[in-house]
Amino acid sequence: MRLLILPFITIALYANEAVPSKHTAFTDINQAIPAIKFDMRYTTTDNFIGMPIDGYKEPICYLTNRTSAALEKVQQHLQKEGLGLLVFDCYRPQRAVDHFVRWAKDINDTKMKIIYYPNVKKKDLFKDGYIAAKSGHSRGSTVDLTIDGFDMGTPFDFFDPRSHTDSNAVTKKQHENRMVLKKVMEENGFKNYAEEWWHYTLKGEAFKERYFDFVIEE
């Protein structure tokens, strides 16, 4: 397990309250649950912006310790069925969210539109809820994932109503696949974001009002 103490941003710190750090509060999932597969695109140009995202220096999945324990149970359950998780994104630095916001405000930068948001106008990304100034990912208890090998009907980070978990615009099998993921995640303490089939947050997350900003690196 890689553990470091790095700077972070917190919100609503209270007097006499222990300050959490990457060292004490987060787990390196790549090391802790090696059976999970990863496709961490924000370190690359293969994402909706088309360039590496601020704060993503290495493709490492950090999650809070509590979230890591719950995710390990999901992986163990799937392995009994001969399946496993494929993870796209985990903890996200606030500086990465700020990068998303700057990009969304640049209406002229649409080089990845045909792949990631072909049916949505870029000027509507804020209004439609695809981009926001704060993300639950920065609290360390949200993870974007799929079941490896399952056809979910849209790619990860596809900004479109078809990505809604219960969308009827996908095939019956694709919808069933989404429900398999939803069921195993919910059984292990996660809640789905209805607009994104891949997006899950641990119920009772450790830091509901804290948005961290440490860089993703060893």
Q: What pLDDT digit, counting tens, does each position of 129-149 carry?
A: 899 999 999 999 999 999 999
Q: How far is CA 213 from CA 41, 92, 109, 198, in A?
A: 19, 8, 25, 23
| DSSP string covering 168-202 | SSS-HHHHHHHHHHHHHHHHTTEEE-TT-TTEEEE
Residues designated catalytic: 196
* Choice among 7-21, 98-112, 183-197, 200-214 with the minimum mean pLDDT: 7-21
Residue 151 confidence (pLDDT): 98
Who has greater pLDDT, 3 or 83? 83
Half-sphere exposure of 123 (CA within 13 A, CB side): 2
Q: What is the mean pLDDT of the chain?
A: 91
Report residue 1's pLDDT band, with 50, 70 and 90 as the boundaries: very low
Cβ burial of 55 (10 Å; 0-12, 13-18, 19+) is: buried
Rounded CA gap, 172 and 48, in Å?
Answer: 27
Q: CA-CA distance, 177 to 143, in Å (whole number)?
A: 18
Written as one letter, the residue type at 193 is: Y
pLDDT at site 39: 97
pLDDT value for 4: 43
pLDDT at residue 33 tops 70: yes
What was the pLDDT predicted at 137?
A: 97
Of residues 116 and 20, more confidence is placed in 116
User: Does the CA dihedral 183-73-11-14 come out positive or negative?
Assistant: positive
The H or E element that residue 80 is part of is helix 65-80
Supply the pLDDT for residue 6: 40
- Distance (Å, whole) CA 194 – CA 212: 24
Domains plus CATH for the chain?
22-145 (3.30.1380.10)
> What phi, psi does 56 have (nearest 5°)?
-100, 85
- Check pLDDT > 70 for residue 9: no
Is the pLDDT score of 11 beyond 50? no
Helix axes 172-187 and 65-80, enclosed angle (nearest 10): 130
Is 12's pLDDT higher than 80?
Answer: no
Residue 24: its pLDDT value, please?
84
Mean pLDDT of 36-58: 97
Write out pLDDT tens, residues 170-190: 999 999 999 999 999 999 999
Q: What is the pTM of this model?
A: 0.89
